[in-house]
Chains A and B, each alone.
Chain A
Amino acid sequence: MKKFTSTALGSLVALAASMSAAQADKLTLYCSAQEDWCQLMARSFEDATGIDVNMTRKSSGETFAQIRAESSNPKGDVWWGGTGDPHLQAAEEGLTMEYVSPMRDQLHDWAISQAESADNRTIGIYSGALGYGYNADLLAANNLPEPACWKDLLKPEYKGHVQMANPNSSGTAYTTLASMVQIFGEDEGFDFMKGLHSNINQYTKSGSAPIKAAGRGENTIGIVFMHDAVKQAVSGFPIKVVAPCEGTGYEIGSMSIIEGARNEEEAKKFYDWALSPEAQNLALQVNAFQVPSNKGAETSESAPDMSQIKLIDYDFKKYGSSDERKRLLQKWDEEVSVLPQ
């Protein structure tokens, strides 16, 4: 009589009894860089140490949301890759663990200052400068001049040709907003964003979408991290990369150990290994054009030459804090996004 319900429920019950395993010499890695880079890091670490790596790749926002949701019973051990802001935010909320690696003295200063600004709960593993890229074919087809500076993008002839992400949803776009405030000062920076607003054809949700749209010929100019633009160019799309003449901000891709990690020892081993030149050189194999944080690691020839780029002294502590972020975003919402285009 009840066979039906009982079989249905029985199988549910049996299913529910299966279980995630946590045994010795295992590491659960949350990875927020590109898929093939994540795979390569996981496999190479396995080869180097014999520790089994369970890797999940998600964007940094998704990973942060997950770590937060799991905070009462953490499942992950290390969070590697992804832009620095959510890592800083996680550090601020105590979701990640303090750790000072013995590898630290081999790192560039910007990586160490990133760690210090977060009470050593995170560390820089690579950096990438902000800039923009344009589709050379479309630019020519529309008879537009080649832009070289941030202020060039305000010219009326670019109306409807510029794309950037929405700072409310994308870390890249927030970095753009914060960089403009730091380059031009707050008032002039917001004037710049207002001027830019009237040339923007779409605020995308994801940070690298503008340059991908440009690659496909759906947009002319995309404001993104330069290594994303380089990647499009190397993939064969007609993209030219621009390092704006006024100088520019940058992101620091980071790594953190999750507070309450089940495999803390293995997590620390991964952390130290990921800061080594050998591990950072793996980026070359997967077309990742960021600048590695270890002074001894190599940089790709196609990568934007950081010595030629005017980098501003980006204040990660101030602009990474949630209060400043909220204030700037609210101001952008109220003063920029509501303007007619």
Chain B
Amino acid sequence: MTEKTTKATHPVLVFWIIAGWVGFCLLPWYMVDGGLWSFEWLLDGYPFDEDYAPAAFLIGQGEKLWLAPLLIALLLPLLVLRRAKSDPLYARILILSGALGFGWLIAQGFSIGIRGFNFDWLEALFGELEDRQFGMGYGAMICASSFLFLLTQGVAARGAINGDVFVVSAIGGVITIVTAFVFFPIAKMLFAAFVTEEGAYSIAVFFSKFFDDRLWGLGCFWGARCGAAWNSLFLAILVGFITTALGLCFALVVTRSGFRYKRALRALTVLPIITPPFVIGLALILLFGLSGSVTQFFAELFGTQPTRWLYGMPGVLIAQTLAFTPIAFLVLIGVVEGVSPSMEEAAQTLRANRWQTFKTVSLPLMRPGLANAFLLGFIESMADFGNPLVLGGNFDVLSTEIFFAIVGAQYDQGRAAVLAMVLLFFTLSAFYAQRAWLGKKSYTTVTGKGDAGVHPLMPTGLSIPVLTVALGWAAFTIVVYAMIVYGSVVELWGVNNSLTFKHYVTAFSVRFEAEGIRWTGAAWDSFWTTITIAAIAAPLTAAVGLVTAYLLTRQSFAGKDAFEFGTMLSFAIPGTVIGVSYILAFNVPPIEITGTGVILVVSFIFRNMPVGVRAGIASMSQLDRSLDESSLTLGANSWQTFRRIILPLLRPAILAALVYSFVRAMTAISAVIFLVSAEYDMATSYIIGRVENNDYGLAIAYSTTLIFVMLSVVALMQLIVGRTKIGRRMTQSRTNV
């Protein structure tokens, strides 16, 4: 590090200074028509046309003069070019110019919109503005990034986080995007809880909506119904425990048993996660509904009247357990694999038997995984929307209540906001309970020291029930999926059971013509859009998630808790709320992205990022810091350490994040339903349209196709990212059965 400070100017600084000027002088400042890859503007009046002009040309022509102060912020950093990093002026100038530029950019963006001034007091002060501006385009965005990173470099030069530019910039970057795409829209939405019908603000409105019997009623203890808040809470706790237990069973079978078909089991546990919404619910109805085959069979067997037992809590519980066990498994497998065999071998050397080893060494070391798995199950259940919608019956939960408060006949955004707050309170409490349970203990087991060993098998007393549970659940999953495939090839579900491929033909037919392939099927449009958007969102999600996890586990800085809270927030909020809040926040300048594919990508990144964060944290807390330290001692900087030491050890976490975000982008529904547009329709919203229209065959056929597509993508990603080898002997699967 000392070597670098003596050099004239750091290349990264030069890069961002140049970027700022390019953004200001060369690229169109405002959004251009025609989408991301359209460069029509280059031939169409650029750089003088008002719509396509860079900021410098606008000011040169005497327009949009409020952008002029940005020039000062661009000129200032030029002063530091010849200064040493240790010079106090270096840091001060960078901080000043970065803060000034970024602050002004935001202030003008919010103050001046498509109808002139956005605030009355500005109009009162300066009179009516005859001009207006649209959303930020390439130029404005690059300028904003430039200012942001000038600021972080200034802060780093002042000595924050040991002057580490990478860490400070990463923190700054994550904070900025999380603020812009999580806090800002959600705050905008939640304010609705305090708005009266006349548009005034009032706290009384909030309380009247909060203390509502439909929310907190305890009627279920004496025959009536309980409030949605209690229902949600009870269900989520149950789902959290069951999915964690099942996930642990699967993880133990895969890593610590002599079970022969581990790979098949592993693949099976991934199935529910790649299933579009509604499909599991529909399959369960086909099996256990009033006219379901299992129900009918038992009704005839025992001569009883079939009942609607599935609709309500039992059905939702089964469907959510099916859907969320794989998430618990994905979190736990990394942790169960990561527990160092050396510890277990040490215990065995000290004469502990297998049961004692498992109970006192292995299990406690899995605590971070268990806690994270429970937390994810809890939160997923809270925010789940598709299953309660199909199977909920009269069992109201918060997420569906929120949806219908917004789109139902009540049109009550305030009520939706209040319900969202309750939901958020529950998830955050779970989050803090989890942290309290983990405490400050160390769960590090992977160190730089020799770590060759193999995991001992589970104690027999444990392996039999674990195997039974895992296989039983696996068999159930297979039956459910067999029903789904069957449902896609019958003429009319439940009425005419003759086999047919016509649903697949309707959805995915192609015609070969002289000009090439014509995609004539009804589903192709939404299919390609979905694949593209998911493919763009997945790597970005994984990147943002893992960088965040790295900052949270490896760095300490002021406000870290608030930072962690912020990154988990978007996951805890149901998609419906995200969807509406995104429309409210991003339909107007400065960030105007509704109706584009960008808003879908952004919503996926910030909704799914927490899984990358959690997976990353769980894995990283097992990597000993001495690994980083030795890397740093040997002269690497923190970026090199992150890239060369931590990332390779994080492959399971990377895979989990990539797979999860890709798959979620393809199967998400509740937020998507508000954000899709004519040009960017997603598969799930198309499927729902079909279900609404009675085309069960087509809907299930499309879903089945999506399942197979996602399966192959997951397999492909596994191949590309590869499996971690944490320097251990090959497991003894061949020697021990």
Contact = CB atoms under 8 A, between A and B. Distances in A.
Interface stretch (A20-28, A117-125, A305-313): A20-28
B137 interface: yes
A18 interface: yes
Interface stretch (B27-35, B372-380, B707-715): B27-35
Closest 8 CB pairs of A and B: A217-B291, A18-B36, A169-B408, A61-B407, A54-B678, A169-B404, A20-B595, A13-B141
B33 A21 contact: yes
Given A18-B37, A55-B678, A333-B214, 16 more contacts: A1-B165, A8-B173, A9-B173, A17-B31, A19-B35, A23-B33, A57-B689, A75-B594, A160-B308, A168-B408, A168-B410, A201-B308, A216-B289, A218-B311, A236-B495, A329-B409
Contact of B583 (A1, A55, A70, A212): A70
Given A59-B407, A73-B588, A171-B409, A17 B138 contact: yes
B536 interface: yes
29 contacts: A1-B637, A2-B639, A4-B543, A4-B642, A4-B643, A8-B173, A12-B177, A13-B141, A15-B536, A15-B597, A15-B602, A16-B136, A21-B33, A35-B693, A61-B406, A75-B677, A168-B408, A169-B408, A169-B409, A174-B409, A201-B308, A215-B694, A216-B285, A216-B291, A218-B291, A218-B311, A235-B492, A338-B213, A340-B224
Contact of A62 (B12, B407, B496): B407
B673 interface: yes
B245 interface: no
B409 A168 contact: yes
B254 interface: no
Contacts of A15: 36, 536, 597-598, 601-602
A236 B696 CA distance: 13
Nearest to A75: B595
B678 A65 contact: no
A170 interface: yes
B407 A65 contact: yes
B2 to A, nearest CB: 16
Interface in A122-143: 138
Contacts of B639: 1-4
B494 interface: yes
A61 B642 CA distance: 48
Interface string B1-45: 000000000001001000000000000000111111100000000
A277 B418 CA distance: 47
Contacts of B224: 338, 340
A98 to B, nearest CB: 21
B362 interface: no
A16 B591 contact: yes
A202 B588 contact: no
Interface of B: 12, 15, 31-37, 114-115, 135-138, 141-142, 145, 149, 165-166, 169-170, 173, 177, 213-214, 219, 223-224, 285, 289-291, 308, 311, 389, 392-394, 400, 404, 406-411, 492-496, 536, 540, 543-544, 547, 580, 583-584, 587-588, 591-598, 601-602, 637, 639, 642-643, 673-674, 676-679, 681, 689-690, 692-694
Contacts of A340: 223-224
A56 interface: yes
Contact of B493 (A11, A70, A166, A216): A216
Nearest to B595: A20
Contact of A54 (B145, B588, B679): B679
Contacts of A65: 406-407, 411, 580, 674
A3 B16 CA distance: 11
Given A15-B601, A73-B114, A216-B494, A2 B693 contact: no
B36 A62 contact: no
A68 B414 CA distance: 14
A121 B56 CA distance: 45
Nearest to B601: A15
A236 B496 CA distance: 8
B290 A219 contact: yes
A36 B698 CA distance: 13
Contacts of B289: 216-218
Given A8-B540, A58-B673, A85 B409 contact: yes
B141 A4 contact: no
B583 A66 contact: yes
Contacts of B406: 61, 65
B393 A20 contact: no
Interface string A186-215: 000000000000000111011010001001
B141 A205 contact: no
A171 B598 CA distance: 33
A44 interface: no
B26 to A, nearest CB: 13
A61 B576 CA distance: 13
The range of chain A's interface size is 35 or more
A19 B587 contact: no
Scoring B411, B690, B694 by chain A CB atoms within 10 A of each residue's CB, the highest score goes to B694
B495 A237 contact: yes
Contacts of A232: 694
B692 A11 contact: no
Contacts of A167: 409
Given A23-B33, A35-B689, A169-B404, A13 B142 contact: yes
Contacts of A6: 15, 145, 149
A62 B35 contact: no
Nearest to A34: B693
A18 B35 contact: yes
A4 B547 contact: yes
Contacts of A106: none
A9 B173 CA distance: 8
Contacts of A21: 33-35
B404 A168 contact: yes
A231 interface: yes
Interface string A314-341: 0000000000010001000100001010
A143 B156 CA distance: 80
Contacts of B166: 1-2, 5
Given A9-B173, A65-B406, A217-B494, A19 B32 contact: yes
Contacts of A218: 285, 289-291, 308, 311
Contact of B400 (A61, A173, A205): A205
Nearest to B410: A168
A238 interface: yes
A14 B140 CA distance: 11
A329 B404 CA distance: 14
Nearest to A70: B587
Given A5-B173, A218-B290, A18 B597 contact: yes
Nearest to B33: A21
A115 B285 CA distance: 43
A168 B681 CA distance: 28
A3 B474 CA distance: 44
A64 interface: yes
B408 A238 contact: no
Contacts of B494: 216-217
A17 B408 contact: no
Contact of A69 (B219, B400, B584): B584
Contacts of A202: 308, 311, 393-394
Contacts of A36: 693
Contacts of A14: 36, 138
Contacts of A9: 145, 173, 177
Contacts of B492: 235-237
Interface string A235-260: 11110000000000000000000000
Nearest to B148: A9
Nearest to A160: B308
Contacts of A54: 677-679
Contacts of B693: 34-36
Contact of A73 (B137, B285, B587): B587
Contact of A11 (B33, B136, B219, B540): B540
Scoring A8, A54, A168 by chain B CB atoms within 10 A of each residue's CB, the highest score goes to A8
Contacts of B308: 160, 201-202, 218
